[in-house]
A = this chain, B = another copy of it.
Amino acid sequence: MAKATIDDVAALAGVSMKTVSRVVNKEPNVRASTREKVQAAIAQLEYRPSQSARSLAANRSYVLGLLYDNPSASYVIDVQEGALQTCRRAGYDLLIHPCRHNEPELADEVLALVRHSRVDGLILTPPLSDITQLVDGLVEAGVPFVRLSPTENKQACPYVQTNDQEAAYDMTCRLLELGHERIGFIAGHPDHRAVAERYQGYLAALKESRIKFDKTLVVQGYNSFDSGRECAAQLLGMNDRPTAIFASNDDMAAGVIIEAHHRGLAMPAELSVAGFDDTPVAHQIYPSLTTVSQPITEMASKAAELLVKQLQGKAVQMPAAIMSCRVIVRDSTGKR
């Protein structure tokens, strides 16, 4: 059976091509009885509109682009899943586009992607959400986009974020409550602003406590396992070493745990460790990692929704969705 076209459906239903088009696109002003006739014909012929033809005629692709440069496979997969949930509901496809956030030609590359009518809109994930050049380029070109966890220029486009800093604050408070007074902190990659800003939560909690801030306890990390391990070596090599280390993400926390193992430190008895993100590794290591879980899939799904709304011309209120993180207590933290 050759693939049915809109004409076939129109003929079978006894209406015009255009009316079939209206039904398919859920346009208003079609009589209920007509709609049913058309739907019956569609079902009978197993008609599916041709994406290419729709795209050409309507000058949209019905495809969303997902841009990322994130070293965490689980993060990316979760984002993809969330975005796909919305895409499937809304009849869009998802094109994935990994790229390098420090590539100078990034903005051009992405604009090319859009200009060639391959995608109708974009979803940016950290750290791309904070690449000014890219964001500005998109705004200037009038490309619809949404961002996940941006830290600045928030009026540029709708976005979805979590209360990261608050969660980092909570986590620090918990460590303080456990009696830790010297809490090491491994800061996130400066390019990765959303991660880097978790530091503010740490600071806030310390400020609230009576404990005085010791800046030698803060080490600059770069989000990777290896970087976490190096930072841990530095912190644990101090004469007056911290009794707890809070790393800005799980990969670095895993590095801390390994380094502690190699130094023969019992966890949590001699060292408490906390991470952030609740990646799979968090419960696959020993001891299992106390961390913060973000609703990544939902964030991505929500972001895609905001984007689709934008594409449908519906106004999206700017100060967009803010979702909540959740501290997950596992075995890597304990009383001092």
Interface residues of A (CB under 8 A from B): 3, 48-53, 55-56, 61, 73-74, 76-78, 80-81, 84, 93-96, 98, 112, 115-118, 225, 251, 254-255, 257-258, 261-262, 280-281, 283-286, 288
Contact = CB atoms under 8 A, between A and B. Distances in A.
Most buried by B among A48, A80, A112, A280: A280
A96 B80 contact: yes
A47 to B, nearest CB: 10
Contacts of A52: 51-53, 55-56, 61, 117
Nearest to A283: B225
A249 to B, nearest CB: 12
Contacts of A93: 95, 118
Given A80-B96, A96-B84, A115 B3 contact: yes
A275 to B, nearest CB: 11
Nearest to A259: B286
A50 B117 contact: yes
Given A56-B53, A96-B94, A48 B112 contact: yes
Contacts of A55: 51-52, 55-56
Contact of A286 (B56, B258, B280): B258
Most buried by B among A48, A77, A117: A77
**What is the predominant secondary structure among interface residues of chain A facing chain B?**
helix
A333 to B, nearest CB: 17
Contacts of A78: 73
Contact of A284 (B74, B84, B285, B288): B285
B50 A284 contact: no
Contacts of A255: 284
A312 B75 CA distance: 35
User: 8 tightest CB-CB pairs across the interface, nearest first?
Assistant: A52-B55, A73-B77, A52-B56, A261-B286, A73-B73, A48-B116, A73-B74, A254-B284
A89 to B, nearest CB: 15
A301 to B, nearest CB: 14
Contacts of A96: 80, 84, 94, 96
A288 B56 CA distance: 53
A143 to B, nearest CB: 13
18 contacts: A48-B112, A49-B116, A51-B118, A52-B55, A52-B61, A55-B55, A55-B56, A56-B56, A77-B77, A81-B98, A84-B98, A93-B118, A94-B96, A95-B95, A96-B96, A258-B284, A262-B286, A284-B285
A150 B17 CA distance: 44
Nearest to A117: B50
B95 A50 contact: no
